[in-house]
Every structure is written in structure tokens, then in C-alpha cells.
Structure 1
């Protein structure tokens, strides 16, 4: 059967579980790539071109047991709903649609309380908007600080809902980050900001690149390890 970009196929794992695989074409990919989409609870097979999608399908089929095992170990989805708990800057925070005024506000306490007054059905949107705003502010401060350390300049900063990477840097100085980093501990967010600022000097992952990162965040290996261990949890929160 022939598949196209964006289509899915369903595989059956040895344990009987059904695994959904979605196909994506990325001309920048140098090889076949298999990754997980934590929010959709499915695998993504990335091919460098349309003609290689059939190879991506075979690649995924050969690894269906691995996919099934990884999907079963994903964290539970956390929705932005009334009384639900999320992480904010690495600490628990409870959500509510109740409160005074019209703007979301973070109240201190153990746990903290994020009040986003309004229609309960609109709570997910209001919470997401608040988190994006806080992420943009934190990342901007971190980028400015790291650029001063490295003696470089950036052109612009944006926050997006990316699924395959936490940050990116273009050759003309455009920095982009996942807003979900606001749920991670501040040091983790700071590391990702330093990582992308270092790319303003080295568009690679050479020894020189990591030396630049270390100038900004000496314990970057610890922060990277945290993200590799807990990143799926950040991706599983929200819509």
C-alpha cells in the first residue's frame, strides 16, 4: 500500500497492541527518522522525500515492538482543566477558572494557584496563553544574558508549540523555543536558551559549540539529562 505525507498506518505489536504511525516528509532530514508524538500517542516516521515514505513504513514496521513499549511508558496526559495540577517553573501549580478580574494571575502558596477567570471551557486557551507569555519573558531574559556572555547578537525570539525540538536557531539570528519550557525548572530553560545562543557562533555540535554552552551554563550536561528524562512529561501537558 502506498502512503503519502500526513497519512497514517496502523501496526500490530507482538503483545497485541495497535500502534499508529504517521508519515512526515522533511527535505532537511538526512536519513529515515522514527520519533514519538507524545500528545497524539503515536509514532512519526520521517522520510527525506515522498518516494522514501515506503522505506519509512518498512522502517517503522521493523521497530513496532520498540514503538509499542515506548508508547506504553509515556506519562499520562495532563489537561488544562479546573483543579488540575501542572508544573510551572519546575513546581506544582493548580489551575482554576475562578478568581477576580479578567487577567490570569499566579497566587503564591503550596501549591501555587494559577487563576484564569472566565468560562471553564476556555480555561485551556487562557492557561496556554499565560504560559506562552511567561515563557517568552523568561527566555528573552536568558537569551539577552547569554548573548552578552558570548558577545553575539540575536535578531528575534519566538515561542512555538514544537514537538521534535526544544529550540532552534537560523543563520540570520532567529531564535525559536518551545513554550513548554516554562514548565521545566528554570535552569533547564536557561540551558536551552544558552544552547541556541551558542548556535549563533557555531551552527553545529562541535567541541567549540559545547565550549560556548559551558561558558553560559557550566552544568549543562545535568540540565540536558533532565530534559531527556522528563521532556515527554512536558509534551504530554495541555491540548
Structure 2
């Protein structure tokens, strides 16, 4: 289903059924660039569609404020560890290779139809390597142990920590400046000591990242640009 805002922008609408929802909800899926209407049950689907139509101008305003989407295609320009990086099919052999320069070049020789999947695989691998190293460093600083580190493509969180010591991170952090990735790693390691955001928790973060406020501010300001990369 597609709705048209008063500005003329056509917006795809997805309707989801969530029995835990107590009311109709309209949210925005920034990665897919579509509106999502949430209904408590199937009998509320029409109400959800009407609810979304009445508020589609809000969704249009939000969508127009988002940074342009970037595709993982031949010639596409992304950020890697905070620096410009251009994706290219040029290169020898079949292995992905990062070539230094201005900008960096991510060489992904092979089938053009699979370049997006291969670029995402490279970025996830790089994120896993950088985050694992950062987690190891901050676990040493805080005197804690982590059970497992996983890489995901989360929508609402850059990182998470479970009570049994499992940490998860968004692979998109590899596109941010290294200090920002390091802050998120320190943040989740601090949760191994405090599963809250109390003053004691932030004191642990500060032990690892004295300038964490600046690094968190960067993520809040530019995080949408990381989600604008279409995997």
C-alpha cells in the first residue's frame, strides 16, 4: 500500500499486527524508508490504514529530513572508520581488499550482481574485528569478562548487553569514526557491571572513554547517516 502526502511524496505503508499494542501506532522505518502502522489485531487493520493516512504528512516530514540513501554498488561512496571509501569492482583475484588513498578503495572484484552482499560481508567482518578488540581492551580496564560478542543489523540500538554477559553490536558502527565505535564498546562493557544508566554506570564508561559525551553526541547527530546505507 502507498500513501501520498500533501507535498506529493509517495510513501510505502506497511501494516503490522502486534497483540501487545494497546493502541494504533504510526512509526517510521528509516532503513526501508516506509511508514509502519501497528494494529493490535487483524480487525483493526482498516483503522490502522486510516490512522496512517491521517498522519502521513508527519511521516513525509521525517523522511525528507533523512540523509539520502547510499547503495552498496560499484562506484558507491560510503564511510569506513570515518573516512570516505569508494566501492569498486576493479581489482585482481577474487578477494576483497582495502586500498589506501583519498578516498580509500574497497576492491570487490567479481559478479556485479553480488557486490552489495559482498560489501556488507566485508563491513561486518571489519566491524567484528574492531569491536572484538575494543571489547577486550575495555573488559581489561573494568575487570570484567564477556561471554560472547555478536554483530547484527539492529534498528533502534547500537549495542546491547544481556545479564549473562553477551554483547551485540550494529555492524554499521564500522562506518563511524573509530572513537565512536570505541565508545559504544565501552558503553556495553560497562553494562557488565551495571545493568542501568546510573551515575556509577557512567563513571565506568568515563574510565574507558573520558570524552564519551562528545562521542555519544556524534552518534546522536550522525547515526541516521549510518542507517542510510542500504545493505
Identify the TM-score tier after normalising by the shorter chain: 0.7 to 0.9
Q: Post-superposition shift, 1:124? A: 0.9
- CA RMSD, Structure 1 to Structure 2 (Å): 2.8
Aligned in 2, Cα 1:218/1:165: closer, same or farther, shift over 3 Å? same
Q: What is the CA–CA distance in structure 1 between the aligned matches of 2:55 and 2:203, rounded to whole Å?
A: 36
1:136 equivalent to 2:125? Answer: no
Matches within 5 A, 1:91-170: 91-170=83-162
Unaligned runs of 5+ in 2: none
State the 1:219 CA deviation: 1.2
Deviations 1:28-78 (A, max 9, x none): 99998765322211234567x659x77977876675433221101111111
**Counterpart among 166, 177, 191 of residue 174 in structure 1:** 166
Aligned-pair CA distance for 1:80 = 1.0
2:64 to 69, 72, 75: 72
The two structures have a TM-score, normalised by structure 2, of 0.86
Q: Residue 67 of structure 1 aligns to a residue in which SS?
A: helix
Q: Which moves more between the two structures, 57-66 or 96-105?
A: 57-66
TM-score computed with the length of structure 1 as normaliser: 0.83
Stretch deviating more after TM superposition (110-119 or 27-36): 27-36
Is the Cα contact below 8 Å between 2:19 and 2:41 reproduced in 1? Answer: no
The corresponding residue for 1:201 is 193
For residues 162 and 236 of structure 1, what CA distance do their matches in structure 2 show?
A: 13
Runs of 4+ in 1 over 6 A off after TM superposition: 25-33, 53-59
Instruction: Please list the CA deviations of residues 86-134 of structure 1 after superposition, one character each: whole Å capped at 9, or x if unmatched.
Output: 1000000111112112210101111111101111111111111111110
Describe the SS at the equivalent of 2:70: coil
Q: 222, 227, 230: which one pairs with 2:222?
A: 230
Q: Which residue of 1 aligns with 2:178?
A: 186
CA distance in 1, matches of 2:54, 2:195: 33
- Structure 1 portions without partners, runs of 5+: 1-8
CA distance in 2, matches of 1:156, 1:221: 26
Aligned residue-pair number: 230
Partners of 1:174 and 1:82 in 2: how far apart? 36
